[in-house]
Amino acid sequence: MITISRTLLQLAALGSVGAVLPAAASPYADSAAGVGTSLGNTMTASATAARPRDAEWMKLKHTPTGQLFPLPFAMPKADEIRKMASGWEYSGQLEFGVIGGDADERSAQYRTYSDPDNGALLNNFTLTLKRPAGGHYLELQGGAAGRNDQYYGLEFGRYNDWKVKLFHSETPHVFTNRYKSLWNGVGTGNLTLVPGLTAGGTASTAADHAAVAAAAAANSGAELSLTRERTGIRLDLSLTRAWKAYVGYALEKRVGARPIGVVWGNAGGTAPMDIPEPVDYETEDIMAGLLHADGLNVFNLRLSASIFRNNISTVTFEEPYRIAPPAGVTTTPATGAYTQGRMDLAPSNQAYNARAEYTRRFPEFYKSSLTAVVSAGTWRQDDSLIPYTTIPNVALANVTLLPGGGWDTTGSLSRRTADQTIDTRLADLTFAINPTSALNLKAKARFHETKNASDPFLAVNPNAVYLDADATTAGPQTRGLTLDGVTGVWGRILNDGSGQNILLGTNATPTGNIPVRSNIYSSKQSRFGPTADYRLDPKTNLNFAYERENIERTRRERAKTWEDRTKIGFVSRALQDATVRASYEFATRRGSAYTASTYDPAAFSSAIFPLPTTAGANVNSWAVRTNNAFRAFDLSDRDQHTMNVRLDTMIRPDLDAGVSFQIKNARHPDAAYGRTQNDQRSLNLDLNYQPSAQRNVYGFYSYQQGRYRQTTIPNANAAVTIGLATPLGTVTPQNAIAIGAAPGGPIFPLVNTWDADSADRNHVAGFGLRQDFGKASLHVDYSYSIGRTRIDYAYTVGGAVNAANAVLAGARMPDLATDIGYLDASLRIPLTKVFSARLIYRHQKETIRDWHYTNVDAAPVVRGANANALPTALPLDGGPQDFTVGWYGVMFQIKL
Amino acid sequence: MKFPSSLPPLRLALAASGFAAAVLVTSIVANPKPPVPALNNGAEYVGEAICIACHQPQNTQFTHTLHANVFRLNPKNEQEKISCEACHGPGSNHLKDPVSPSNRSSLVGFTREWGTPVALQTAMCQSCHAGAGQTFWDGSVHATNNLSCSDCHNPMAKLSSGGLLKKPSINETCYTCHQQQRAEFAKRSHMPLLEGKMTCVDCHNPHGSTTKGMLKADSINETCYSCHAEKRGPYLWEHAPVRDNCLSCHNPHGSNHDKLLNVARPFLCQQCHGNAQGHQSTLFNAGGAIGGGGAPSTRIFGRSCQNCHSQVHGSNHPGGARLQR
């Protein structure tokens, strides 16, 4: 241990050269659980590829599939391994240098996930120590010291006995560099308008427009970003030959801001604007496990916890326009008093899980085995709820607030904390048996449940009384609202009082579609079926699988769906120089009766106030749920074909090729409206050529095509009145809902039908080269990616689109287009036995044409012709920005 | 820590204890011993010094691997002590005729050229690598496709920082077969795999899993929550398809659209919300917002529907029924 301590001191000294933190590889996670399996950044692949290869390695070999094994890196021979007097052997390297050129480019597309600024750079370092006597070791790695994509790892322990891993890794995420902030306090939960803007606006909307435009121009080009920092430690122990244990902890912090839309304005539905949402997250992940394997038995136990904290749970923002109180809201507060709003951000939450896995082999009984898995978890959040608004004195017509019931107080809430819980359970059982040496049979069964154990949230102000004068009863009255035993006002004010959504909102026309309580969604999934794998000959297998999946859901349009999947597969190495893998799956999903209404009727005011029956009463808000021929694509019937074929072939001993393609077709036969079709195609070609230890050339090309088709009928928003004559019959209280929801009825006239066809096409091509010139070596990677999405639509002029607008709308959207080019070239020149130089050139470009942001950056105040009307929106995020950069680097490598 | 009533700590502890006890009893009663395959036609072990005498370059590489360090510096059993032959089997027959192709059965090899049946290769690896992350190898998609361990791993050389992969990184290794996913990661929006900040194994267990897609967690959403814990909720106002399956809207491998979305907004949202009151199912370019110079609709530019319904993953605001706050 004394020796280890000395080594650590030496490491600390080395680390002080360029690394702030110590740290190793795949630190926290393993292939079974957890995240955090990578330490590196955008520079790592290039630096790795530049490492010299081992020219003495045995002649080219192929994997069992037939792909060339890459040549290993040159490693020190036994007599070249450096040793200390203490018996520790060590090796390592350090690469540092400087980057110049366009690396300071600020485009969000360029900077997301990497931080390649100009200037000095400690690009990477590694150090490995081991002491053969005792089998102790220590491995250190890191890179990009001081930058936002830096990473460090430290692993030490005793081989085959115990090990400790620590790591720290940072990932920048730039959401936009074209943001125009109207607020001070970006990154905090309190956004106040910059000077020149007035909270609640002025008497002149036209002047507010000008002020907003000026402020946006003055504050343009801002970056909204965050950095994800993850730090962790993990201990692995071999307890006995058969038993192992591990425990790990990781802390992740995300700090920064990102754009988010927030709606504001009259009636709560106009003038949305992009505000900077603050992000200050902390997630603690704790994991511990016990592993057992003895040849016949395998047992794994894992306990995990994930504690997420949002340190900024709300964001309050001032708004720069003056709005009048919406209909149904009295003049208190006065016009101009709506100065701010507040959003509730992601709630802090906790998740716990326990999972046990057991496998028992029965080698004497047809080489069979039984595997069982049980897992149970719970997700919880109990954040304190905030009041409906920060605006004081919001009052609704004919609603009497009792003492303590103000909408800006928690007295207006039906409960004070969220109190939400979802429990998960999993049971999985597999029995495998080999009746003959060529046949393997399995039976599988799985059950998974996501059960929301929460009580619905009631949208009711328990400290208010509604003086009702409904359409059928003359004179004021107090409606005794007793749903779920609560009395009060049903519904809620919208968006900080800029709108309201109350059961009898205007005190004149009752409505049936006001959300009065939340829906509680749960699901149960069961899956079972047999598989068979038959060996036709020593190199050829045929496999078959059938699976039935049942899913039961609460509060969805369909209570139960079931899907049958049948799959056959073929794998053969019998071809002399090739391996073929092919599979085909046919899946059919069907389900129970489909109720087009998305939500449980009990969640709406229609559960409290029945559908009016008097002649002439407009029952639109009761009748209109959904076009009853519309199907949500995750629940609708589906027929799906999937075919995968892959061929790996050794064209020559030094040249291998791979060809693969996938065809996937999905149709939704019961969906007259909604998503009706989804197709995917993919073709991939690969070549890898290693003619010598000094040269490696590769190339690839992929083509992908995706297609989604959908059809819908816009709601005509027509009245459905009792006694109305329609093509589907005269509306009565009994058939009102059926007629209202029927395609071809007054609400969904067929002439309004439109459909859309969204087609993605992508090409990705690349090639690379490694060439050694004596001691120097050149490495080049190049790729180019083209993405296009074309969206066509069709409609009847005069239906979904009127004649005047049809001239403007045409038949399609402009193409969404992305072009991404990447070139990385690196020339490594050894200067001495331990000192090398590496010259790097990188070229990157990206162009994006996205109609979502056409003209948005130039015109952040979107408004109609009336200069005195509120804006349509304030899209303050200008969207993606093209970039083209070329930068070079001079790096120096020192081999320890 | 407060557990929900359906998972009382005592019941959970009893169940776990009972499960563990059953495992232990089974283990003891069965007196298990690892199966020893009859290898290499009854050959005998010769020791690694004999192997190295001919295979010097291989030894140079092998010396730097975890395998070598375990076998040579701290072996825990007889199998590990024999080093090379721990994986290749006893080598005496190989010594008799090391070059003849007809004598390939004298050793277990892990290359195409050597020709050892994949099942035997796998059995050799699993004689040590059983359980833990490899528990569900049998029946996995990779096993069904008859992959050998050495289709992904090179146990003889240290190319990767961990895992003895055949390529320097996890992603490069996976891309050798999964070119479709490599192409998807090259699209406009993608997770940070190309940038070296994430690997396929953050979500998938290539050695097998009880979850479709070889996912590491019990479900798709639980996989996503392992990085996106803020989306876990549960929220006061939930969005049903979001709770059901993140992939209803997102393609985690990459997309032509913002935020890994499957389809451009608002068309994506309208694949479910083509109905009900008001504006949901309108063809929003009808005013020629983009193509013809008309007044843009709030629902077409920027984040489209999420300009207003920004809390699309769920809202914890009491007035958030429409996912606006």
A contacts of B304 (beta carbons < 8 Å): 852
- pLDDT < 70 stretches in chain B: 1-40, 275-278, 286-295
pLDDT of residue B79: 87
Cβ–Cβ under 8 Å, residues A682 and A691:
no
- Checking if the pLDDT of A769 tops 70, the result is yes
Chain-centroid distance, C-alpha A236: 31
**Closest listed residue to residue A619, CA positions, set A627, A610, A628, A608:** A610
Q: A240 CB contacts (<8 Å, ≥6 apart)?
A: none
Measured in degrees and rounded to the nearest 5, phi and psi for residue A52 equal -65, 150
Q: Do A632 and B241 touch (CB under 8 A)?
A: yes
Q: Do B288 and A708 touch (CB under 8 A)?
A: no
Tell me if residue B25 falls in helix, strand or coil.
helix
Cβ–Cβ under 8 Å, residues A608 and A490:
yes
pLDDT in tens, A616-640: 888 888 776 688 899 999 999 999 9
pLDDT of residue B4: 43
User: How close does chain B come to A710, measured CA to CA in Å?
Assistant: 6
Give the pLDDT band (50/70/90) at residue A488. Answer: low
Whether residues B152 and B72 share a domain: the answer is yes
More confident site: A684 or A396: A684
More confident site: A681 or A48: A681
Task: Tell me which of A310, A349, A437 to substitute to probe the interface with B (most B C-beta atoms closer than 10 Å).
Answer: A349
pLDDT of residue A485: 47
Q: Do B183 and A702 touch (CB under 8 A)?
A: yes
Measured in degrees and rounded to the nearest 5, phi and psi for residue B220 equal -60, -50
Confirm whether B138 is domain-assigned.
Answer: yes
B contacts of A57 (beta carbons < 8 Å): 57-58, 61, 157
Compute the mean pLDDT over every residue in chain A, rounded to the nearest whole number. 88
Confirm whether B241 is domain-assigned.
Answer: yes
Confirm whether B280 is domain-assigned.
Answer: yes
pLDDT of residue A259: 97
- Checking if the pLDDT of A209 tops 90, the result is yes
Q: Tokens in use for B181?
A: 């996913």
Q: Do B186 and A369 touch (CB under 8 A)?
A: no
B215 beta partners: B204, B211
Whether residues B79 and B194 share a domain: the answer is yes
Give the pLDDT band (50/70/90) at residue A862. Answer: confident
How many structural domains comprise chain B? 2
Question: What is the distance between the alpha carbons of residues A37 and A28, in angstroms, rounded to a whole number?
Answer: 7
Strands (E), A48-87: 82-83
Least confident of A102-106, A489-493, A672-676, B107-111: A489-493
Residue range A312-324: average pLDDT?
A: 93
Cβ–Cβ under 8 Å, residues B156 and B61:
yes
**Closest listed residue to residue B135, CA positions, set A411, A734, A373:** A373
Whether residues B79 and B197 share a domain: the answer is yes
**Which pairing describes strands A314-318 and A190-193: parallel, antiparallel, or unpaired?**
parallel
What is the per-residue DSSP string for A625-655?
Answer: S--TTEE-TTTS-EEEEEEEEEEEEEEETTE
Residue range A292-305: average pLDDT?
A: 93
Confirm whether B128 is domain-assigned.
Answer: yes
pLDDT of residue A389: 93
Q: B54 CB contacts (<8 Å, ≥6 apart)?
A: B98
DSSP state of B144: H
As a whole number of Å, the CA-based R_g of chain A is: 33
Cβ–Cβ under 8 Å, residues A41 and A117:
no
Q: Which amino acid is at A44?
A: T
Selected residues 3-62 of chain B with any CB under 8 Å from a CB in chain A: 3-7, 12, 15-16, 19-20, 22-23, 26-27, 30, 32-35, 55, 57-58, 60-61
Q: Do B35 and A295 touch (CB under 8 A)?
A: yes
pLDDT in tens, B41-58: 778 899 999 999 999 989
Measured in degrees and rounded to the nearest 5, phi and psi for residue A11 equal -65, -40
- Checking if the pLDDT of A326 tops 90, the result is no
- Checking if the pLDDT of A575 tops 50, the result is yes
* CA geometry: angle A141, A146, A147, nearest 5 deg: 95
Whether residues B187 and B257 share a domain: the answer is no
What is the side-by-side strand order in the sheet with A477-478?
A399-401, A464-468, A477-478
Residue range A156-168: average pLDDT?
A: 95
Whether residues B197 and B303 share a domain: the answer is no
Torsion of CA A185, A189, A193, A195, to 10 degrees: -30
Cβ–Cβ under 8 Å, residues B247 and B203:
no
pLDDT of residue A77: 84
Whether residues B277 and B169 share a domain: the answer is no
A524 beta partners: A449, A552
Whether residues B196 and B91 share a domain: the answer is yes
pLDDT in tens, A230-270: 999 999 999 998 999 999 999 999 999 999 999 988 777 78
**Closest listed residue to residue B227, CA positions, set B212, B217, B214, B237:** B217
Residue range A439-462: average pLDDT?
A: 93
pLDDT of residue B102: 79
B126 in contact with chain A, both atoms CB, cutoff 8 A: no
Measured in degrees and rounded to the nearest 5, phi and psi for residue A640 equal -135, 130
- Nearest Cβ partner of A32 from B186, B205, B274? B205
Complex-level ipTM: 0.92
Side-chain half-sphere CA neighbours of A430 within 13 A: 24
Domain that holds residue B312: 231-288+295-325
Residue of A nearest to B126 (CA): A295
- Checking if the pLDDT of A410 tops 90, the result is yes
Question: What is the distance between the alpha carbons of residues A701 and A333, in angstroms, rounded to a whole number?
Answer: 64
More confident site: A79 or A554: A554
pLDDT of residue A298: 94
- Checking if the pLDDT of A423 tops 60, the result is yes
A16-55 in b/e form (b: 16+ CB < 10 A) is eebbebbbbbbbbbbbbbbbbbbbbbbbbbbbbbbbbbbe
* CA geometry: angle A70, A76, A82, nearest 5 deg: 155
Confirm whether B216 is domain-assigned.
Answer: no
pLDDT of residue A50: 85
Give the pLDDT band (50/70/90) at residue A332. Answer: low
pLDDT of residue A32: 62
CA distances from A460 to A639, B68, B90, B322 (A): 44, 69, 78, 16
Whether residues B172 and B236 share a domain: the answer is no
Whether residues B136 and B264 share a domain: the answer is no
Give the pLDDT band (50/70/90) at residue A5. Answer: very low
Question: What is the distance between the alpha carbons of residues A734 and A744, in angstroms, rounded to a whole number?
Answer: 18
Residue range A464-480: average pLDDT?
A: 53
Q: Report the run of H or E that residue A45 belongs to, with start and end.
A: helix A44-49
Torsion of CA A569, A589, B280, A612, to 10 degrees: -170
Question: How many beta-carbon pairs under 8 angstroms link A with B?
Answer: 611
**Which pairing describes strands A673-692 and A630-631: parallel, antiparallel, or unpaired?**
parallel
User: How close does chain A come to B238, measured CA to CA in Å?
Assistant: 7
Whether residues B198 and B254 share a domain: the answer is no
* Dihedral sign of CA atoms A550, A552, A556, A558 in order: positive
Confirm whether B214 is domain-assigned.
Answer: no
Q: Do B275 and A625 touch (CB under 8 A)?
A: yes
Whether residues B60 and B173 share a domain: the answer is yes
Question: What is the distance between the alpha carbons of residues B95 and B100, in angstroms, rounded to a whole number?
Answer: 11
Alpha-helix runs per DSSP H in A305-401: none
Task: Tell me which of A31, A83, A517 to substitute to probe the interface with B (most B C-beta atoms closer than 10 Å).
Answer: A31
A contacts of B303 (beta carbons < 8 Å): 261, 852
pLDDT in tens, A39-78: 999 999 888 888 888 888 877 899 999 999 999 998 888 8
Q: Do A809 and B157 touch (CB under 8 A)?
A: no
Confirm whether B31 is domain-assigned.
Answer: no
- Checking if the pLDDT of A508 tops 60, the result is no
- Nearest Cβ partner of B303 from A261, A295, A371? A261
DSSP state of B197: S
Confirm whether B299 is domain-assigned.
Answer: yes
Question: What is the distance between the alpha carbons of residues A454 and A294, in angstroms, rounded to a whole number?
Answer: 43
Question: What is the distance between the alpha carbons of residues A535 and B115, in angstroms, rounded to a whole number?
Answer: 17
**Closest listed residue to residue B284, CA positions, set A878, A805, A678:** A805
Strands (E), A554-672: 560-572, 578-591, 630-631, 638-652, 655-667
B257 in contact with chain A, both atoms CB, cutoff 8 A: yes
Whether residues B187 and B238 share a domain: the answer is no
pLDDT of residue A492: 81
Peptide bond before B234: cis, by omega within 30 degrees of 0? yes
pLDDT of residue A472: 52
More confident site: A861 or B262: B262
- Checking if the pLDDT of A14 tops 50, the result is no
DSSP state of A268: G
Q: Do A263 and B324 touch (CB under 8 A)?
A: yes
pLDDT of residue A461: 85
